Structure 1
């Protein structure tokens, strides 16, 4: 029987399944943002379309809508029919739908292919999250949830940088980057297997009767709401920062690229440290530290006239988000029974993209009413309140252990 991996039995860096799952994680950031540098060129290429301006701007968020709608259903299917087939099908569909923009004749058909790409991402993220819970436990599970955030950040940095270079040659070429996912398929095909349906084994002992936390559904619902809110806040950076910087007199395209690059690098580096930090201060401490860092970062943004304050803000926001994000997955996998990990992963995946999709819808009216500075200050206050609440939870937990 296949057992859940423990740190002593098989170090995570030596497990090819972990490498395959990190490859899958690196694809998720690629889905939306890879074609961003090509949008002006695509608008010019299809200038004859009367809706070109609107459709080109919808190409980036289109996959998010599909993920939000499909991921919970993908989770149900993964629990019933297995994770392996869903992951492999998702990667194949990712390659086909992603590369379709190379040959499709018009913007409406490219937009449709982006919606299909979102279905592929829903398959990949849902299956990957469930497999992390199936294959790993304890410190290794925490390590892998942190490493997948690093994979998303560094993968996004590489793919977006590559897209910027090839977009200068042709606005269609960034679609070819999605074909790189095909390189990952052979390893996934060889090492990803569905776990046995019987009780999982940890440390050589079967976990008979492991049905998850008695209130796992209610706790998962709270976790989903918190993750959606966290992603809605974080997504203020890629959706609003360029407009804010333009108001500050910066060359917005150049400075936005630098700020978002720092955001990804900071997030990728701090996610690598996630397991050590979580082991030292536990989940409430992680949320306290992460939300506090994000609060300070947003509080610094109104002082963006000074470049050091702007860069420090980006580093803090990226670090804080990278610390809290893995905890949502780790806690959800600990709460849910093995038979429902696909559902839990699907709902968590949907909440990420719902938060991203709602972010500009909620922030734009707030900017109209209070300006960018008001938005950033109020966001900082909200994050500070979230950090204080997490700190109180940490104190209660510490007192409970002493008692």
Structure 2
């Protein structure tokens, strides 16, 4: 008897997107509570307390590829269910744990849960949807990730106003998502069948995926200058006096504008992907990063700042779904979990590299303005390989496959 393929419903899509909302919020949700945590544990250094934010990303970078391989072996939905459960339990563990080492252990395991969510949601989308529909859904996923940071970080800040422990309760949203995943999702019917019928040419595409991972790494390294260095840039601008000198409020507002631009481009990504070649999109991704970063470096007014953050948001909004769609297009389905695990690793390594790479740049540039201009020029250089690849693809091939521009 042939198994009937599972057809995702609108509820399936909803809970895939809700799951994706948790990918980028690993440490961000409890960030507003850090000063209160420092007061609660006065014997712990500030650098140790800051690991509450950075440790989940480190865990994702270390375990993402392995967890992705597990999802290929044991099933995407099973690993997603386990990952959401881990996310909920360990994410909220700070509410009842009483020591920094215990909290940090929980944060590391939380990162493993987020790695599992990243791998499985991306690969399930690739299984459930095809062609232009898949491109649209991947765009929605990128939009949901950006929206999740905005909503969940704000909620965490409101809870931190009650107490530092209450901030960790935001992770209990995972209970609702866990129930939704169990009710609305099923393992793709073709998964076991395809695994048994592997052919010699269906190998794991190491080199093509490596190019995709490097692209994501470079793009995320540029993008994460925003949450790490943009507030310092803005604090040194005279124009921030419009906000009564409250640079934190101004930073939050402009970062929110960038997030909105990113989410909007994610929603529109399906139309973009169908009309333009992957290399065209990536060329403009880094051009937008370059324009945005240089605009911030030269900015003397808040209008110029707004233009800069919108351009950077646009770049991030088209980068994420383009990489996910690229991975889905070149990877045999039996390896999608492993490939998506590599995506989560590259994503988080980019975050870490951003904080390290800016140190020598700032040492040479001296000021934040000069540093942003320098990084903007680097972004323009990053665009060149994709422009050259596009020209080679356009003029160096006599036949171009039909269908989505992202499936070539």
Q: What's the TM-score once normalised by structure 1's chain length?
A: 0.90
- Measure how far apart 1:166 and its partner are: 2.1
Write the distance in 2 (CA, Å) between the matches of 1:170 and 1:216: 48
The one-character-per-residue Cα deviations of 1:253-273 (angstroms, maximum 9, x if unpaired) are 112211211111110111100
What is the match of residue 309 of structure 1?
Answer: 304
> Which of 17, 22, 28 in structure 2 is aligned with 1:22?
17
- Residue 370 and residue 42 in structure 1: after superposition, are their counterparts in 2 closer, same or farther (change >3 A)? same
SS in 1 for 2:191: coil
Alignment of 1:222-237 (within 5 A): 222-237=211-226
The one-character-per-residue Cα deviations of 1:181-209 (angstroms, maximum 9, x if unpaired) are 11111220022222233567xxxxxxx87
Tell me whether 1:373 sits opposite 2:369 in the alignment.
Answer: yes
The one-character-per-residue Cα deviations of 1:277-336 (angstroms, maximum 9, x if unpaired) are 111112112112222111100010113331111111111101111112111111111111
- Measure how far apart 1:216 and its partner are: 2.1
Alignment of 1:189-208 (within 5 A): 189-195=182-188, 196-197=190-191
What is the match of residue 203 of structure 1?
Answer: none
Q: 87-96 vs 209-218, which deviates more? A: 209-218
SS in 1 for 2:26: helix
Tell me whether 1:327 sits opposite 2:316 in the alignment.
Answer: no
Write the distance in 2 (CA, Å) between the matches of 1:391 and 1:3: 40
How many residues are paired up?
A: 387
Do the aligned residues in 1 keep the contact of 2:56 with 2:111 (CA within 8 Å)?
yes
**Unaligned residue ranges in structure 1 (runs of 5+):** 201-207
> Which of 122, 136, 144 in structure 2 is aligned with 1:143?
136
Write the distance in 2 (CA, Å) between the matches of 1:151 and 1:58: 26
Do the aligned residues in 2 keep the contact of 1:67 with 1:349 (CA within 8 Å)?
yes
Do the aligned residues in 1 keep the contact of 2:6 with 2:187 (CA within 8 Å)?
no
Alignment of 1:70-149 (within 5 A): 70-149=63-142
- Measure how far apart 1:61 and its partner are: 1.0
Tell me whether 1:339 sits opposite 2:334 in the alignment.
Answer: yes
- Measure how far apart 1:340 and its partner are: 0.7
- Residue 215 and residue 78 in structure 1: after superposition, are their counterparts in 2 closer, same or farther (change >3 A)? closer
Do the aligned residues in 1 keep the contact of 2:77 with 2:185 (CA within 8 Å)?
yes
What is the match of residue 240 of structure 1?
Answer: 229
Do the aligned residues in 2 keep the contact of 1:98 with 1:113 (CA within 8 Å)?
yes
Do the aligned residues in 1 keep the contact of 2:220 with 2:351 (CA within 8 Å)?
yes
What is the match of residue 267 of structure 2?
Answer: 272
Tell me whether 1:43 sits opposite 2:43 in the alignment.
Answer: no
Do the aligned residues in 2 keep the contact of 1:149 with 1:322 (CA within 8 Å)?
yes
SS in 1 for 2:157: helix
**Unaligned residue ranges in structure 2 (runs of 5+):** 241-245, 400-408
> Which of 330, 351, 372 in structure 2 is aligned with 1:356?
351
Do the aligned residues in 2 keep the contact of 1:212 with 1:335 (CA within 8 Å)?
no
What is the match of residue 205 of structure 1?
Answer: none
- Measure how far apart 1:178 and its partner are: 0.5
Do the aligned residues in 2 keep the contact of 1:291 with 1:386 (CA within 8 Å)?
yes
The one-character-per-residue Cα deviations of 1:353-393 (angstroms, maximum 9, x if unpaired) are 01111210121232122132332122212221233432333
Do the aligned residues in 2 keep the contact of 1:146 with 1:275 (CA within 8 Å)?
yes
Alignment of 1:178-217 (within 5 A): 178-195=171-188, 196-197=190-191, 216-217=205-206
- Measure how far apart 1:210 and its partner are: 7.6
